[in-house]
Structure 1
């Protein structure tokens, strides 16, 4: 009998090699990294210059050709803007810790998340900034040095934009490109429509409104804007923001006239997403609206754009145009509701790794 004939006559099960179960492997060590936008190290000219240079040099943020943009950036922008921005940061600076509120809140979020994940002994939690310190690269290296061969990165932006979530992930992979042995990576997806996030916002808003000595006629959900051309090219940010407001309106049982969407923080001469927050509050005051409140669902932590731009600039614009009562509703920050959102999403995305 030939070899081929013997093979054909043997039962199929005898032709399959027997295997033994592999011994259980040691549980992987996982690093969880919260990532926020960033903050300067101080309010003086030099730290503000360094921070603004890094931020405004990001091609995800400013999509102009460098031959056009860099002369503007290194000319008038970095000549005059550091002093102006530094003065605004000084108004909200955490002087006890000598840091920005964003730095304070992000650290606290990291510490509280670490405490809530104590039941997962193979998980290490840390936090980083896309721009400024602690840098994304330094924190990734620290996690790897601690033995983490898997990293879950959590960009703290509820709504996705290439200018925020994408560039945070870009920076992570730039750090990994320098490593001979890079860890496996997952990224928490945008959570603009997650029920727990909508519930947390609603709870925060209702609690704040109950603390006021007046009832707002209208509440604005003010999101950080992006240039309109970015949206036209396919960035889903505007759609995500509108959906957050719609779901929040539905949760609160409010009408479209009671809770509206606006966009703030525009920069430069080109058109940004509209309606603009500052122009809207002026028009509301001119139209006879006397009492409003503003909430910032696109920010996970209070920062210069919420505490100073909304809490001071927009407030002054509304009152100066004839409004009488104005209130800024704090971001979720490290509140119990905010931390419940971060913990739930973290645990869900760790599934299969722990």
Structure 2
């Protein structure tokens, strides 16, 4: 999912470095792949693998990292892309509307962040009669403190203190083969059109032409 707070700032860091370069290469960025079929399929396999090993809960809670609501109001597509990922995953899993929800975690500070909040939702679920829940964090490609401590540990404790019974955290895609294949598919898609991907590309020919070009330049006085 694209967010100005993360994706765009990565672009800024790259451009800051290249701002000092005299010869800037061609660039291509992967801005988002929130609805890429291979990514959704990887999530589907992950959830199904968990359900095969553990009893399925009453609700699949999809928790995404939160951002201030102001970001959405300024035109950031992150909120919409999170919901699209959630909807596509739910559709592929064959879930009914009351069997899944999208929430947002990791808020801090006094400003309003994207809602509903993950922690508040989990604390309220037992009162709604939902006492068995599975939680997945589709926006995290690998597990970290925010998934293992905040989601898998702290929110599990809060859920059970509120009357919940069974809480299962579904690990991030991490180094699973289907995750690697999904990333490879995304990369292959964005590599289309580059010279190196064309059928007639020959690295030896390119190296030879570059060498000859260098020799001609030196013959005319170039120092390197």
| TM-score grouping bracket, smaller chain normalisation | 0.7 to 0.9
User: Which blocks of at least 5 consecutive residues in structure 2 are unaligned?
Assistant: 197-224
The yes-or-no answer on 1:168 pairing with 2:10 is yes
Give the equivalent residue in structure 2 for 1:227. 68
Could you tell me how far 1:336 is from its partner in structure 2? 0.7
1:327 alignment partner, SS class = strand
What CA distance in whole angstroms lies between the structure 2 residues aligned with 1:350 and 1:215? Answer: 39
CA deviation profile, 1:48-103 (whole Å, cap 9, x unmatched): xxxxxxxxxxxxxxxxxxxxxxxxxxxxxxxxxxxxxxxxxxxxxxxxxxxxxxxx
Give the equivalent residue in structure 2 for 1:278. 119
Give the equivalent residue in structure 1 for 2:40. 198
What CA distance in whole angstroms lies between the structure 2 residues aligned with 1:330 and 1:181? Answer: 43
Q: Would you tell me which structure has more strand in proportion to its own residues?
A: 1
1:184 alignment partner, SS class = coil
What CA distance in whole angstroms lies between the structure 2 residues aligned with 1:345 and 1:261? Answer: 24
Residue of 192, 196, 206 corresponding to 1:351:
192
Instruction: Judge which range, 271-280 or 161-170, deviates more.
Output: 161-170
RMSD: 1.0
Could you tell me how far 1:303 is from its partner in structure 2? 1.1
What CA distance in whole angstroms lies between the structure 1 residues aligned with 2:31 and 2:185? Answer: 13
What CA distance in whole angstroms lies between the structure 1 residues aligned with 2:56 and 2:171? Answer: 17
Residues 137 and 172 in structure 2, CA contact (< 8 A), matched pair in contact too:
yes
What CA distance in whole angstroms lies between the structure 2 residues aligned with 1:267 and 1:304? Answer: 15
Could you tell me how far 1:233 is from its partner in structure 2? 1.2
The yes-or-no answer on 1:246 pairing with 2:96 is no
1:179 alignment partner, SS class = coil
The yes-or-no answer on 1:211 pairing with 2:211 is no
Could you tell me how far 1:281 is from its partner in structure 2? 0.4
Instruction: Judge which range, 177-186 or 167-176, deviates more.
Output: 177-186
Could you tell me how far 1:267 is from its partner in structure 2? 1.1
Give the 5 Å matches for 1:129-148: none
Give the 5 Å matches for 1:90-169: 159-169=1-11
Give the aligned length: 195
- TM-score under structure 1 length normalisation: 0.54
What CA distance in whole angstroms lies between the structure 2 residues aligned with 1:308 and 1:178? Answer: 40
What CA distance in whole angstroms lies between the structure 1 residues aligned with 2:97 and 2:81? Answer: 17
Instruction: Judge which range, 178-187 or 316-325, deviates more.
Output: 178-187
Give the equivalent residue in structure 2 for 1:295. 136
User: Which blocks of at least 5 consecutive residues in structure 1 are unaligned?
Assistant: 1-158
What CA distance in whole angstroms lies between the structure 2 residues aligned with 1:273 and 1:323? Answer: 24
What CA distance in whole angstroms lies between the structure 1 residues aligned with 2:172 and 2:193? Answer: 31
What CA distance in whole angstroms lies between the structure 2 residues aligned with 1:246 and 1:289? Answer: 20
Could you tell me how far 1:198 is from its partner in structure 2? 0.8
Give the equivalent residue in structure 2 for 1:32. none
Give the 5 Å matches for 1:331-350: 331-350=172-191
Give the equivalent residue in structure 1 for 2:27. 185
Residue of 160, 184, 189 corresponding to 1:319:
160
- TM-score under structure 2 length normalisation: 0.84
Could you tell me how far 1:177 is from its partner in structure 2? 1.2
Residue of 103, 110, 116 corresponding to 1:269:
110
What CA distance in whole angstroms lies between the structure 2 residues aligned with 1:170 and 1:270? Answer: 25
Residue of 161, 170, 176 corresponding to 1:329:
170
What CA distance in whole angstroms lies between the structure 2 residues aligned with 1:275 and 1:218? Answer: 15
Q: Would you tell me which structure has more helix in proportion to its own residues?
A: 2
